[in-house]
Amino acid sequence: MRYIFLWIFGLLYLYMSFYYSPLAEKFEGISSRALFFHVPAAWVSLLAFCMAAYFSIRYLTSRNYKFDLKAVLSVELGFLFCVLATITGSLWAKVMWGSYWNWDPRQTSIIAVLIFYVAYLVLRDSVEDKKIKPVVAAAYASLGFIVAPFFYFVIPRITYSLHPDPVVNTEAKLKMDSKIFITLIVSTLFFTLLYLVMLRLVERVELLKRKAK
Amino acid sequence: MLKSFFRKSVRLFYKDILEEWRRPWDLMVSFLFGATIITSLAISVGPQFGNPEFVTAVFWTIVYLASFIAVARSFDKEYERNTIYLLFMSMEYDELFFGKLLYNLTVLYALITLLYPITLFFFQEFIDFWFFIILALLVPLGITPILTLIAALTVHARHKTAILPIVAIPILLPLQIVTFKLSLTLDFSSKWDMIILLVFYDLVAIFSSVSLYSFIFAEK
């Protein structure tokens, strides 16, 4: 009963994405349904990376180890959602464009973001001094505030993209069926909630592990 | 207050310059690294290398790689000789960072000035000179603060020489993309938005690295 909202949103998400929402025009077969997994996963990865940057700044200002823990867990979760967004995007690209990899700016951008967070994990692991490690990691993750938004928002807009127009486009017009749009909003809310619950759970597991030590 | 800040930073800058003057080969390594790549490319590919835009893109890639070698040493040498603790005692963290930043910026400008004639010698064709000057002034302003900060972070890491490019490349990638996009055109009048983006990146890089550096050592 603790995560009742998550269950309600989960069931609503499944119903809306498979039955309520119509298939989008100009899309091959049922491929448009991938939108309800791919877009929220990409959104949550951005949210998780920005949260990691926020927690890192909080750690640098307060030196409270809980913020460092939240930052690293947020990066790990963001990484997971980013990989899921990349895989679903590639599968969709194969159906729509005929190839898994098309040098689309959004594809290259997401790979660049993944490299940045792999570098974060590598840097964190390579520092042995337990006092310095969280400081170094936090300083690096804070730079995510420059990197992540640039790759998510700037690069796809300054280069030609095969991708369908983003929801927030340059003309500020909604080029989407209203039912699809509502389903997208619900799926994004569900994924956001899922991320927050997962973050809370993994944080509790880590804190219990530390207590046990 | 501000006068004292600059005086201490400039003193550190002067110390580093004097040190390089006494041991010039330390700095020459990064220049020779860049020069060797340019020469080897010229010898292996010959005059059919490509168009001026492509030569410019290759030139900037080499500058990026050579700058890793040049800047990586800025904190490393202080830790190796334990002089970093003397610096911590004698100046504030932001004064130390600013001093190192000034030195690294000078090194990078020197590197570009030295590598440019070599590239020109072998490939002759290059993008418009004044356009190149704009890029040569703006690009190091973005590279240097980020690399100086990363050099300070990776100094505590195992395999620091390998870690530095792994950690720095993803942050410098936006700058690299913008530089390449600017280099791949001869008509820069239509690329003002990119130049604005470059200036914006420089400002964010300077602000974030200066503000983060003082936090890194806040407890020391």
Residue B214: closest CA among chain A residues belongs to which residue? A60
Find out whether A195 and A77 touch, Cβ atoms under 8 Å.
Answer: yes
| Predicted confidence band of residue B188 (pLDDT cuts 50, 70, 90) | low
Find out whether B71 and B191 touch, Cβ atoms under 8 Å.
Answer: no
Find out whether A164 and A92 touch, Cβ atoms under 8 Å.
Answer: no
A161: left (phi over 0), alpha (psi -120 to 50) or beta: beta
Put simply, the chain B residues between 137 and 176 with a CB less than 8 A from any chain A CB are 146, 149-150, 153-154, 156-159, 163, 166-167, 169-171, 173-174
What would the pLDDT profile of B126-173 be if each residue is shown by its tens digit?
A: 777 778 888 889 999 999 999 988 988 888 888 878 888 889 988 988
pTM above threshold 0.90:
no
Query: Is the pLDDT assigned to residue A169 strictly greater than 60?
Result: no
> Would you call B215 and A60 a contact, using CB atoms and an 8 Å cutoff?
yes
A136 touches chain B (CB under 8 A): yes
Q: How far apart are CA A67 and CA A137, in angstroms?
A: 12
| Predicted confidence band of residue B220 (pLDDT cuts 50, 70, 90) | very low
For residue B205, give Cα distances in angstroms to A7, B175, B199.
Answer: 43, 10, 10
Tokens describing residue A82: 């980013």
In the A/B pair of chains, how many CB contacts fall below 8 A?
Answer: 82
Interface test mutation site (partner A, options B159, B202, B212, B219, max chain A beta carbons within 10 A): B212
The number of beta carbons lying within 10 Å of the beta carbon of residue B153 is 27
> Would you call B156 and A147 a contact, using CB atoms and an 8 Å cutoff?
no
Tokens describing residue B65: 């790689």
**Out of A63, A155, A158, whose CB is closest to B219?**
A63
B220 touches chain A (CB under 8 A): no
Q: Helix, strand, coil proportions of chain B in percent (round to 5)?
A: 90, 0, 10
The number of beta carbons lying within 10 Å of the beta carbon of residue A24 is 15
What would the pLDDT profile of B70-96 be if each residue is shown by its tens digit?
A: 888 778 778 778 788 888 888 878 888
Q: What DSSP designation does A18 have? A: I
> Would you call B153 and A116 a contact, using CB atoms and an 8 Å cutoff?
no
- Residue B127 — φ and ψ, nearest 5°? -70, 170
Query: Is the pLDDT assigned to residue A4 strictly greater than 50?
Result: yes
In chain B, where the domains are located: 22-218
B208 touches chain A (CB under 8 A): yes
Q: How far apart are CA B215 and CA B155, in angstroms?
A: 16
ipTM here: 0.82
What would the pLDDT profile of B37-69 be if each residue is shown by its tens digit?
A: 888 888 887 766 667 777 887 888 889 888 888
Write down the residue that tokens 């503000």 correspond to: B211
Interface test mutation site (partner A, options B93, B143, B156, max chain A beta carbons within 10 A): B156
Q: How far apart are CA B23 and CA B17, in angstroms?
A: 10
Chain B residues touching residue A127 (CB < 8 angstroms): 156-158
